[in-house]
């Protein structure tokens, strides 16, 4: 039987669920992730 992990911070999870439905927030978050990955891959 697979157990579900209990959220450590349910308030923070609720806030993030709201944010991911915001197009501007999502675009900025994806851009930050892409920049970090690029830096790591290129060794900058």
Residue 21 lies in a domain: yes
Note whether residue 25 is domain-resident.
yes
Q: Residue 25, Cβ neighbours under 10 Å: how many?
A: 13
Please give the pLDDT value at position 9.
87
Query: What's the average pLDDT block by block, 10 residues per block, for the chain (44 residues)?
Result: 74 90 94 95 87
The answer to whether position 27 is within a domain reads yes
How many domains does the chain divide into? 1
**pLDDT of 1:** 66
Please give the pLDDT value at position 2: 73
**Model's pTM, two decimal places?**
0.61
Q: Is residue 3 a part of any domain in this protein?
A: no
State residue 7's pLDDT score: 62
In a domain, 34, yes or no: yes
Tell me, yes or no, whether 1 lies in a domain: no
14 within domain boundaries: yes
Structure tokens at 4: 């579900």
In a domain, 2, yes or no: no
């Amino acid at each position: 039987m697979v157990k579900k992990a209990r959220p450590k911070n349910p308030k923070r999870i609720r806030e993030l669920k709201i944010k991911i439905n915001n197009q501007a927030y999502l675009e900025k978050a994806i851009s930050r992730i892409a920049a970090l990955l690029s830096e790591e891959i290129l060794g900058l």
